[in-house]
Amino acid sequence: MNTYPRTFSHIGISVSNEENAVKFYSDFHGPVDLIEPAVIFEEKNAPIRQMCIDMLGPSWGLFKIAHVFTSDKIGVEKFEFKKQRNAKRF
């Protein structure tokens, strides 16, 4: 059974500052496609809100999310959680 290489569309990571993380990835990769940082749970009817509840559970409360994509379209999804330990609050 051949198991490698495997493909994937994106990874998710937790960051302490969403805007700094977006800048870092943009500086590192050069020009990137970007889904700008957004605060989740402020807009009660946003479809992404329900997706995040399904993925993370309802107890996370307010958090930011953004995506950058490399030139080969691998996505890096970044989460900045308000409840994250040692995080700079937004």
Per-residue pLDDT tens over the stretch 13-31 = 888 888 888 888 878 877 6
In angstroms and rounded to an integer, the radius of gyration of the C-alpha atoms of the chain is 15
Of 54, 57, 66, 61, whose CA–CA distance to 14 is shortest?
66
**Residue 10: both structure tokens together:** 């994106």
More confident residue, 84 or 57: 57
- What is the pLDDT, as a whole number, of residue 88? 52
- Mean of the per-residue pLDDT values for the chain? 76
Q: Provide the whole-model pTM.
A: 0.65
